[in-house]
């Protein structure tokens, strides 16, 4: 019953906020207005209802270093609840980089494109390169990005192998990488299941990693360092 109530709310709330976001897009050049007044309130309302139903989030660590500087946030991915929580609690103007299939959802996908989210088509190298160029342009214009380096949700919460695309982007632009560790959201809503469980999951923010200190030949080392930071945030 808990899941049914929440899913019904999410559907109607999402429809309303999509239309609100599209209205805002008429006055928004880069998606920041939609992010601040549609996407973030959308997620906070969902997390507020989830809290009433017994699902809570604990925030560990803070992001205080140069809030105006564009960053690449990298986090593990355990549940669709990660999306709501990151939008609700990450104090930064950022855009998601996600698989292109999500951008094809009617109305929602169109709204996400208006916000400036970027869809990656891994089956089409040329399209993927265009997406990375778009991501690079956003960083140069001071807009942060959030990437799931695993590329998909983990079915059991364990950390999956990382893909290199986000790290190539960091090294190309010189953007800092901010590691984020999400722990326990897979127990709330696991991949492939609609059932929800009461409980608490946590989001931990780690110290930024300066990608400028790594040469192009060191991409594997940068990737491993980021993975270790995220793993530590999950385990501690």
Give per-residue pLDDT as tens, 8-57.
999 999 999 999 999 999 999 899 999 999 999 999 999 999 999 999 99
pLDDT score at 3: 79
Runs of H (alpha helix) within 141-209: 165-173, 185-188
Of 123 and 159, the one with more pLDDT: 159
CATH T-level assignment (fold) for domain 2-235: Glycerol-3-phosphate (1)-acyltransferase (3.40.1130)
Q: What's the pTM?
A: 0.93
pLDDT score at 76: 97
At residue 196 the predicted structure's pLDDT band, cuts being 50, 70 and 90, is: confident
> pLDDT above 70 covers what percent of the chain?
98
Q: Is the pLDDT of residue 63 over 80?
A: no
Tens of pLDDT, residue by residue over 172-183, are 999 999 999 999
- What's the CA gap between 79 and 60, in Å, rounded? 18
Length of the chain: 236
Please write down the long-range contacts of 2-5, taking CB distance under 8 Å and 24 or more positions apart: 2/53, 2/54, 2/196, 2/198, 3/194, 3/195, 3/196, 5/53
Phi-psi region of 199 (alpha: psi -120 to 50; beta: other; left: phi over 0): left
- What's the CA gap between 110 and 222, in Å, rounded? 34
- Given a contact cutoff of 8 angstroms between Cβ atoms, the answer to whether 49 and 86 are in contact is no
Average pLDDT over residues 112-134: 90
Please write down the long-range contacts of 152-156, taking CB distance under 8 Å and 24 or more positions apart: 152/77, 152/99, 153/77, 153/78, 153/79, 153/80, 153/82, 153/186, 153/191, 154/76, 154/77, 154/78, 154/186, 154/191, 155/186, 155/190, 155/191, 155/192, 156/186, 156/190
Of 135 and 194, the one with more pLDDT: 135
Residue 119: its H or E element: strand 118-120
Average pLDDT over residues 122-126: 82
pLDDT score at 64: 62
pLDDT score at 206: 94
pLDDT score at 66: 63
Token digits of residue 107: 């109305």
pLDDT score at 223: 97
Q: Is the pLDDT of residue 150 over 80?
A: yes
φ, ψ dihedrals at 102, nearest 5°: -70, -30
β-pair partners for 67: none
On average, the pLDDT of the chain sits at 92
Minimum mean pLDDT range among 18-22, 65-69, 151-155, 163-167: 65-69
Neighbours of 178 (CB within 10 A): 25
Q: Is the pLDDT of residue 65 over 60?
A: no
Cβ neighbourhood burial of 128 (10 Å; 0-12, 13-18, 19+): middle
SS3 180: strand
Domain assignments of the chain as residue spans, ordered by start: 2-235
- Given a contact cutoff of 8 angstroms between Cβ atoms, the answer to whether 112 and 87 are in contact is no
């Amino acid at each position: 019953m808990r899941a049914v109530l929440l899913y019904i709310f999410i559907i109607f709330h999402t429809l309303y906020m999509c239309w609100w976001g599209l209205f805002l897009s008429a006055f928004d050049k880069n998606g920041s207005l939609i992010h601040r007044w549609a996407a973030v309130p959308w997620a906070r309302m969902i997390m507020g209802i989830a809290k009433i139903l017994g699902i809570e989030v604990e925030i560990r660590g803070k992001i205080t270093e140069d809030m105006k500087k564009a960053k690449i946030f990298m986090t593990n991915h355990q549940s669709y609840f990660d999306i709501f929580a990151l939008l609700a609690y990450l104090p930064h103007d950022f855009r998601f980089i996600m698989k292109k299939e999500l951008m094809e959802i009617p109305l929602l996908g169109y709204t996400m494109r208006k916000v400036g989210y970027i869809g990656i088509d891994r089956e089409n190298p040329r399209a993927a390169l265009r997406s990375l160029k778009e991501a690079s342009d956003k960083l140069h214009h001071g807009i942060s990005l959030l990437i799931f380096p695993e590329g998909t949700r983990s079915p059991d919460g364990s950390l999956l192998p990382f893909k290199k695309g986000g790290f190539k982007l960091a090294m190309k632009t010189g953007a800092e990488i901010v590691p984020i560790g999400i722990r326990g959201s897979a127990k709330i809503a696991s991949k492939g299941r609609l059932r929800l469980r009461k409980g608490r999951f946590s989001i931990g923010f780690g110290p930024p990693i300066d990608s400028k200190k790594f040469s192009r030949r060191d991409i594997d080392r940068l990737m491993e360092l980021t993975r270790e930071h995220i793993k530590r945030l999950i385990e501690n």
